[in-house]
Amino acid sequence: MDYAPLSAACVKSLNDKLYEKRKAAALEVEKMVKEFVTHNNTTQIKRLIKVLGQDLTLNHNPHSRKGGLLGLAAVAVGLGPSHTGNYVKDLIHPILCCFNDSDSRVRYYACESLYNVVKVARKDIIPYFADIFQALSKLCCDTDQSVKVATELLDRLMKDIVTECLEFDIPAFVPLVRERIYTKNSFAKTFLLSWISVLSAVPEFDIVVFLPDILDGLFKILEDTQPDIRKFADNVFIEFMQRMMNILIVHAQSQDESQQLTAIIWLDEFLRLSGSNLLPYTSGIFTAILPCLSYEGDTKKSIKKTANHVNETLLKLLVSKRKEENVTSETSIADSLDLTSIIEVLTKYLTMQQLSVQTKVAILRWLDHLLKNLPKEMQLHVEELFPVLVEVMGDNSEEVVTKALVVMSELIDHRSTNLEENKYFIKFMVNLLRLFDSDRKLLEDRGSFIIRELCVLLNAEKIFKVLAKTLREEHNLSFASLMVQTLNEILLTCPELFDLRLKLKNLDCEESMDVFIGMYKSWSHNPVCTVSLCFLSQNYDHAYNLVKAFADLEITLELLVEIDKLIQLIESPIFTFMRLELLEPEQNESLIRALCGLLMILPQSDTFLLLQRRLLAIPSAAMNLHMPKKNSIAKNVSKSIRDKINFKELFDHFVSIQKQHHEQKKQEQRNLITSDMSNLNINDG
């Protein structure tokens, strides 16, 4: 028989039963092909492929078939990537025929041979994908383990090539799967699922469109008795859902109401079916539904309602997943959530002025749940959240501000025993003061509300201590005075401050003394507030000295208004204890003198008459001002603690602060005149 262009010796070696001789002959074939390529001898190449593909691979001798397969692989290697494409069909068809060989070693060599051809040809084998896929789908069920291993290697290479080739024909691939998806063989099921999974992971391959063609078969595979196959099928379903989730998220943001509603309804259903498997898509879902929570009007009522249901379902999934995690450590909720993307989306929408209260409250609920359920992970995002939450303090809605304060308290970690050393607590207090300073209307309208809410959520005493310390370093003296006035009003009127008032009233320990001194130094920015603090703490001697010091202050309308407010407060339940002490005038002479001093400062108004009537109600002995001065400290207060307070130093501090206020006011007046003159010069010019 004529085997040209192969030599007789080469043919003999290709037919030999020893692998080493067949391998040596294959190397000779490779060299021969390279020479043919160099001389562009296509006729000899075709002749060689025909000899190897027909005369040897179809030979009844299994060793000849093995040699033929090795030879065909050698031809592909000799041709190289640039020339193999012209001969792919003639190379692979003889090899595929050997996939059905009765000899397992021949089937093994067929896999190895095709692997080498495919490795060289790469995308040139795509037109013959159906033939190769069909052969692989059978060989994956082979009973010989070595053949299975070789098949897996070839299958992996085919997947790599297909996923690299964006021109791959998905519509032609789907029928190949549909024909085989009802197979009973477990290996065949795994083979098909692996291909579906790989192709569905390529964004450019829109395999979701063809889901109806294979959906029934996938459900059948879910019935398999082997858990690993059922799990694989379930994961494929999840992959399809995830691809579809991206599509739904896009359409859920459509301007067309019908399209938007349909997409959100589908999102809702997917969450119901797939549950926590869709948590990785949380940020995308937020992008779709959060704006919908702000919709108004009947036409968008259904969209808003469905979007709200999606949000609640997602929130429940987070909580249930967390409970599940507490039971088993197999999965972690932190692994399921892309917190960076989630925080980015939530903070973006939280600061959008056009969004409704409902949307912002929903966002703040999410932040609160995330901080509670993932405290360690969320600590990595504190710097991103912090400025946004401070900004929300200025929101028009009290509900939004309240929820933001709840989140801030969680972020600060109100359970911390060293709250005063918590850098985020101090930072928030400082930033809050800066916000009040820059937005006086916010301070006027919401200042008291915000601080009161904070006192409930955190520790009222710590809040006042940190604010007082910060205000002592405040350079804007007018703001410091205004802020002290706000804090003093809260201190003297709000039930949330009962414990702090009690501590200041009793002054029965070193800690309460430190609180008093710290507050006094800040309260010194406002004379009337300083007096009220001394009234509250029963330091009547010092209160009297402060009232006398008013003689050196400029008595402005603002000062008189504040004294008026103080007199009104003295008549409130907060100062009941002080009014009762007026029943013992001999022991509280300084208190009486301080009140008389305030009376002397006031013009004769309704408030003047109110305080006058109160003083006239004191037992007559109180008016004998020539009586020997006695200790003015209330009987129920520890004298030893008060003896440690350097009231002279505090008084000097008060005077110093008042001088600073006076100098600043004079400077402001100079600046105003200078500014007016500058404007005048400009106009004259």
Residues 452 and 406 in one domain: no
Residues 479 and 397 in one domain: no
DSSP 629: P
Q: For position 126, which CATH number holds?
A: 1.25.10.10
Please state the φ and ψ torsions of residue 507, each to the nearest 5 degrees: 45, 55
Residues 369 and 408 in one domain: yes
Instruction: For residues 25 and 13, give the distance between their C-alpha atoms in angstroms, rounded to a whole number.
Output: 6
Residue 636 is predicted with a pLDDT of 43
Please state the φ and ψ torsions of residue 405, each to the nearest 5 degrees: -65, -35
Residue 634 is predicted with a pLDDT of 43
Q: Examine residue 682 and state whether it is found in any structural domain, yes or no.
A: no
The residue type found at 446 is R
Residue 685 is predicted with a pLDDT of 44
Residues 283 and 393 in one domain: yes
Residues 17 and 124 in one domain: yes
Residues 18 and 103 in one domain: yes
Residues 394 and 290 in one domain: yes
Mapped onto helix, strand or coil, the DSSP state of residue 602 is coil
Looking at 110, 142, 165, the residue that finishes a domain is 165
Query: Is the CB of residue 508 less than 8 Å from the CB of residue 638?
Result: yes
pLDDT at 676 over 70: no
**pLDDT tens-digit series, residues 454-489:** 999 988 999 999 999 999 999 999 999 999 999 999
Residues 387 and 289 in one domain: yes
Residues 6+ apart with CB under 8 A from 644: 510, 513
Q: Examine residue 200 and state whether it is found in any structural domain, yes or no.
A: no
Q: Which domain range does residue 554 map to? A: 435-618+643-668
Mean pLDDT of 589-613: 95
DSSP 445: I
Residue 244 is predicted with a pLDDT of 82
**pLDDT tens-digit series, residues 367-405:** 999 998 888 889 889 889 999 999 999 999 999 999 999
Expressed in percent and rounded to 5, the helix, strand and coil fractions of the chain are: 80, 0, 20
DSSP string, 308-375: HHHHHHHHHHHHHHHHHHHH--SS-HHHH--HHHHHHHHHHHHT-TTS-HHHHHHHHHHHHHHHHH-H
pLDDT-derived band at 635, boundaries 50, 70, 90? very low
pLDDT at 625 over 80: no
Tokens of 542: 């010092």
* Number of alpha carbons in the 13 Å side-chain half-sphere of residue 556: 10
Tokens of 369: 């749940």
pLDDT at 631 over 60: no
pLDDT at 87 over 90: yes
Tokens of 18: 């020893």
Instruction: For residues 393 and 407, give the distance between their C-alpha atoms in angstroms, rounded to a whole number.
Output: 12
Looking at 130, 165, 200, the residue that finishes a domain is 165
Residue among 216, 223, 204, 282 at smallest CA distance from 249: 282
Task: Count up the domains in the chain and report the number.
Answer: 3
Torsion of CA 622, 625, 630, 631, to 10 degrees: 70
Q: Examine residue 452 and state whether it is found in any structural domain, yes or no.
A: yes
Report angle CA 381, 386, 392 to the nearest 5 degrees: 130
Q: Examine residue 402 and state whether it is found in any structural domain, yes or no.
A: yes
Residues 370 and 475 in one domain: no
Tokens of 235: 């994961």
Query: Is the CB of residue 557 less than 8 Å from the CB of residue 603?
Result: no
Residues 442 and 562 in one domain: yes
pLDDT-derived band at 639, boundaries 50, 70, 90? low
Residue 415 is predicted with a pLDDT of 56
pLDDT-derived band at 675, boundaries 50, 70, 90? low
Looking at 129, 146, 165, the residue that finishes a domain is 165
pLDDT at 243 over 50: yes
Residue among 17, 109, 25, 143 at smallest CA distance from 75: 25
Q: Examine residue 238 and state whether it is found in any structural domain, yes or no.
A: no
Query: Is the CB of residue 374 less than 8 Å from the CB of residue 333?
Result: yes
For the chain, what percent of residues have pLDDT higher than 70?
Answer: 93
Residues 6+ apart with CB under 8 A from 529: 484, 485, 488, 523, 562
pLDDT at 186 over 50: yes
Instruction: For residues 47 and 303, give the distance between their C-alpha atoms in angstroms, rounded to a whole number.
Output: 70
Q: Examine residue 465 and state whether it is found in any structural domain, yes or no.
A: yes
Residues 6+ apart with CB under 8 A from 525: 471, 474, 477, 480, 481, 483, 484, 657, 661
**pLDDT tens-digit series, residues 14-60:** 998 899 999 999 999 999 999 999 999 999 999 999 999 888 998 89
Neighbours of 609 (CB within 10 A): 12
Q: Per DSSP, which regions of 482-626 are E strands?
A: none
> What value does the mean pLDDT of the chain take?
89
Please state the φ and ψ torsions of residue 222, each to the nearest 5 degrees: -60, -20
For the chain, what percent of residues have pLDDT higher than 90?
Answer: 67
**pLDDT tens-digit series, residues 286-345:** 999 999 999 988 888 999 999 999 999 999 888 777 776 664 444 567 777 889 999 999
Instruction: For residues 28 and 39, give the distance between their C-alpha atoms in angstroms, rounded to a whole number.
Output: 17
Q: Examine residue 264 and state whether it is found in any structural domain, yes or no.
A: no
Tokens of 266: 């589908």
Residue 137 is predicted with a pLDDT of 94
**Residue 263 CB burial class (10 angstroms; 0-12, 13-18, ≥19):** buried
Mean pLDDT of 266-294: 88
pLDDT at 637 over 50: no
Residues 370 and 444 in one domain: no
Instruction: For residues 448 and 454, give the distance between their C-alpha atoms in angstroms, rounded to a whole number.
Output: 10
Q: Higher confidence at residue 224 or residue 441?
A: 441
What are the helix and strand counts (H, E) for the chain? 36, 0
Residue 661 is predicted with a pLDDT of 92
Query: Is the CB of residue 211 less than 8 Å from the CB of residue 250?
Result: no
Instruction: For residues 208 and 215, give the distance between their C-alpha atoms in angstroms, rounded to a whole number.
Output: 10
Please state the φ and ψ torsions of residue 512, each to the nearest 5 degrees: -65, -30
Residue among 69, 46, 48, 47 at smallest CA distance from 57: 69
Mean pLDDT of 412-440: 84
Q: Examine residue 145 and state whether it is found in any structural domain, yes or no.
A: yes
Q: For position 320, which CATH number holds?
A: 1.25.10
* Number of alpha carbons in the 13 Å side-chain half-sphere of residue 298: 0
Instruction: For residues 674 and 664, give the distance between their C-alpha atoms in angstroms, rounded to a whole number.
Output: 15
Query: Is the CB of residue 69 less than 8 Å from the CB of residue 111?
Result: no
Q: Give the chain's length.
A: 685
Residues 394 and 451 in one domain: no
